[in-house]
C-alpha cells in the first residue's frame, strides 16, 4: 500500500508531495525548536512563566491573605486575574514582537524558500504560546494551597482548558500587530494594547461605572468571565456569548494577519 501523501507548495519546488509522516514531523520539529528557543530566552521565559505565580503569592498570600481566608470569592478573583495575566502574555508578545522582528530581518523570506509546510511557522508559535499557558496554569495550581484556595478536580481541568485555549485570541492579536508593525515599533504597540486590555477590562479591580460599557470590548473581559464560571464565582453574561466573542477575535485577527502576510510578507 502506498504511503499517504499531502500536497504542499514550496517556492523551490513549485509543489511537491510530502508523505503525511514527514509532514507531521516537519510541524513537530518547527514547534519543538520554537519552544526551546523561547524557553532559552530569559527576557521572555522568566517574566511570563515566573511572574504570575509570584505576584499571586505576593497579593493573594502576603498582602491580602488574611482577608481572603474570610472571603473565598476574593481569593478566586485574584487567582483568576493573575492566571489570565500569565496566559495572555506569551501569545501577544511571542507573536507581536517576534514576528515583527523576524519579518524585518528576512527570516520569513528565508522560510518561504525552505521545503517546509507554509503554515508550520505560525503553528509552531501557536503551540509554543499554548504550552507556555499550560505551564503558567500548572504553576498557579501548585501555589493555590498557599493562598487558602480549595479547588475540585473538575475545576482544575476546567480552568486549565479555559487558560490554554484562552491563549488563542491573544496569539491572533499579537500576530496582527506583528505583521503590521516594524521591529522597533512592535514592542510599543504590544505593550500599549497589553496594558489597555488588562486595565480597561476590570481584570485586577472593579471599574468605575462610566467604564463598564467598554469592558466587553476587550477579550480579557470575556476570558475572565469564563474563568469565573469555571470556579463558580458570580460572573456576568453567558458562556456562549463569551466563547463566541473570543472565537470571533481569534478568527478575524488571524484572517487579517494571514492575508497581510500573503500579500506583503
Residues facing residue 17 across a β-bridge: 7
Per residue of the chain (265 residues), give pLDDT as tens: 444 444 444 433 444 566 888 888 888 998 999 999 999 999 889 988 999 999 999 988 888 887 777 777 888 888 999 999 999 999 999 899 999 998 888 887 787 777 778 788 889 999 999 999 999 999 999 998 887 787 888 888 999 999 999 999 999 999 999 999 998 999 999 999 999 999 999 888 888 888 888 999 999 999 999 999 988 888 888 899 999 999 999 999 999 998 988 877 6
The gap from C-alpha 34 to its chain's centroid, in whole angstroms, comes to 15
Q: What's the half-sphere exposure (Cβ side, CA atoms, 13 Å) at 228? A: 20
**239-264 helix and 167-180 helix, angle to the nearest 10 degrees:** 30
Amino acid at each position: 500500500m502506498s504511503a499517504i501523501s499531502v500536497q504542499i507548495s514550496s517556492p523551490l519546488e513549485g509543489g511537491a508531495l510530502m508523505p503525511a509522516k514527514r509532514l507531521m514531523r516537519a510541524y513537530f520539529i518547527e514547534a519543538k525548536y520554537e519552544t526551546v528557543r523561547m524557553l532559552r530566552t530569559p527576557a521572555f521565559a522568566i517574566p511570563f512563566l515566573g511572574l504570575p505565580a509570584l505576584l499571586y503569592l505576593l497579593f493573594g498570600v502576603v498582602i491580602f491573605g488574611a482577608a481572603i481566608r474570610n472571603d473565598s470569592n476574593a481569593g478566586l478573583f485574584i487567582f483568576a486575574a493573575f492566571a489570565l495575566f500569565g496566559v495572555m502574555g506569551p501569545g501577544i508578545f511571542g507573536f507581536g514582537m517576534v514576528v515583527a522582528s523576524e519579518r524585518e530581518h528576512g527570516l520569513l523570506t528565508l522560510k518561504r524558500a525552505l521545503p517546509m509546510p507554509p503554515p508550520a511557522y505560525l503553528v509552531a508559535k501557536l503551540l509554543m504560546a499554548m504550552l507556555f499557558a499550560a505551564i503558567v496554569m500548572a504553576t498557579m495550581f501548585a501555589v493555590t494551597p498557599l493562598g487558602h484556595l480549595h479547588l475540585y478536580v473538575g475545576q482544575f481541568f476546567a480552568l486549565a482548558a479555559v487558560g490554554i485555549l484562552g491563549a488563542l485570541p491573544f496569539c491572533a492579536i499579537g500576530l496582527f500587530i506583528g505583521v503590521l508593525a516594524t521591529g522597533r515599533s512592535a514592542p510599543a504597540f504590544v505593550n500599549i494594547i497589553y496594558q489597555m486590555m488588562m486595565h480597561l477590562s476590570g481584570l485586577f479591580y472593579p471599574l468605575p461605572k462610566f467604564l463598564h460599557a467598554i469592558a466587553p470590548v476587550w477579550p480579557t473581559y470575556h476570558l475572565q468571565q469564563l474563568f469565573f464560571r469555571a470556579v463558580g464565582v458570580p460572573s456576568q453574561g453567558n458562556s456562549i456569548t463569551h466563547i463566541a466573542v473570543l472565537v470571533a477575535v481569534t478568527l478575524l485577527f488571524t484572517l487579517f494577519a494571514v492575508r497581510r502576510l500573503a500579500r506583503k510578507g
